[in-house]
Amino acid sequence: MKIETLRWFNNRLEMIDQRILPAAFEYLSYYTASSVAEGIRSMVVRGAPAIGVAAAYGVALEALHLSEEPSTLRQAQGERVGFNKGMEEGFKVLAASRPTAVNLFWALQRMRKVWESVAAQTPQQVAQRLLAEAHEILAEDIRINKAMGAHGAALLKDGARVLTHCNAGALATAGWGTALGVFRSAVEAGKKISVIADETRPFLQGARLTAWEMVQENIPVTLITDNMAGYMMAHGEVDAVVVGTDRVAANGDVANKIGTYMVAVLAQWHNIPFYVACPLSTIDLNIASGKDIPIEERSVEEVKGFRDYHWAAEGVKIRNPAFDVTPAELVTGLITERGVVLKPDVQSIRKLFG
């Protein structure tokens, strides 16, 4: 089954509702920037690359929506205060949806540049141009994932048992996936690999999404709770770790789903290679180190239980940092679409963009 996390259908954006997977498989439709922002915020869509694509469509949808409004049509070729103001609001609400994912800002910046380049055209023309750009960002994302997959697959030996955390799969991207894309590419290249999926509390992306994706692909997958990763490593049952990332700093520090840092420390402790699948759009050269990456603290409700089922004792305080930062020293290699950067640092990362 080909997983289309986001798709353009009947002049609207459709996104798989990842909150209800794997119990149900449903698409939700989006017509405006603010509804897409809400979809990102509420985790209908998640995963840094997918969020970037969603945000690009959010901008295009806002332009389409505004260009069809009677007030905008009346303005015709003249002054377009309403259109511009609406677009700025769209950018703003999208930018505020998830602070940690750099692809969000990368996509918004790219869409803004396109907008500026056609600012003299009619709102209708602007909207069409922005929509074409969103389509291109989606197609590019899949091409990039496949390139990363090929580079990453070469790192895995035949028979490798690979642990991953959270979901950096087709569902976290426009398709194929970053970390899970590496596994797909390895299998496509004829390697037998098996995956160990951390369940990834509190949102359970591993148990729900990674396990589901791998089952769909017939790639052997074993689910463990997050606190079993050390046991598996100590018992020699993990050959490598591959995870995705939400933002990589200029020095190679990696922000990713909470718990990634623990896996990285454990991998180092057990001499197991720790790889991060990371498209260039996820590297933020404006951030010197991981210390400067903003970490989203999400609602404490998520930790009380899962969905509406709460098990935590009444009256307990709760913390819910959604991400953590893994220092570059713990990263064996960054897998990018331009190749693998071993022992990443400021110089080797800058060279990627050179």
Residue of the chain from 73, 215, 288, 342 that contacts a copy of itself (CB under 8 A): 215
Q: How far is the CB of 16 from a copy of itself (least distance, A)?
A: 14
Crossing angle of helices 102-117/48-67, nearest 10°?
Answer: 30
Cα gap 251→319, rounded to integer Å: 28
Query: Do 33 and 46 form a contact (C-beta atoms < 8 A)?
Result: no
Q: How far is the CB of 220 from a copy of itself (least distance, A)?
A: 7
| Cβ atoms within 10 Å of 227's Cβ, excluding its own | 12
Strands (E) across 104-231 are located at 161-164, 194-198, 221-224
Cα–Cα nearest to 152, from 332, 282, 290: 332
Would you count residue 214 as binding a copy of itself (CB under 8 A)?
yes
CA 94 to chain centre: 15
Exactly one of 141, 226, 239, 246 is catalytic; name it: 246
Dihedral in degrees, nearest 10, Cα atoms 51, 54, 55, 56: 130
Would you count residue 24 as binding a copy of itself (CB under 8 A)?
no
Cα–Cα nearest to 204, from 102, 307, 275: 307
Encoded tokens for 322: 């959604």
For a copy of itself, the closer CB: 14 or 226: 226
Q: How far is the CB of 295 from a copy of itself (least distance, A)?
A: 8
Residue written as token pair 């718990």 = 259
Residue of the chain from 118, 154, 189, 303 that contacts a copy of itself (CB under 8 A): 303
For a copy of itself, the closer CB: 189 or 303: 303
Residue of the chain from 241, 266, 272, 277 that contacts a copy of itself (CB under 8 A): 266
Would you count residue 211 as binding a copy of itself (CB under 8 A)?
yes
Would you count residue 311 as binding a copy of itself (CB under 8 A)?
yes
Would you count residue 317 as binding a copy of itself (CB under 8 A)?
yes
Total count of residues recorded for the chain? 354
Residue of the chain from 62, 199, 217, 253 that contacts a copy of itself (CB under 8 A): 199
Residue of the chain from 14, 141, 226, 239 that contacts a copy of itself (CB under 8 A): 226
Put residue 277 in one of left, alpha, beta given phi > 0 → left and psi -120 to 50 → alpha.
beta
Residue of the chain from 96, 234, 288, 342 that contacts a copy of itself (CB under 8 A): 234
Would you count residue 223 as binding a copy of itself (CB under 8 A)?
yes
Is 253 annotated in the active site? no
Cα gap 156→171, rounded to integer Å: 22
Footprint of a copy of itself on residues 159-198 (CB under 8 A)? 165, 197-198
Cα gap 97→200, rounded to integer Å: 21
Q: Name the site residues for a copy of itself (rule: CB under 8 A).
A: 22-23, 165, 197-202, 204, 207-209, 211-212, 214-215, 220-232, 234, 258-259, 261-262, 265-266, 269, 303-306, 309, 311-319, 321, 324-325
Q: Name the residues annotated as catalytic.
A: 246
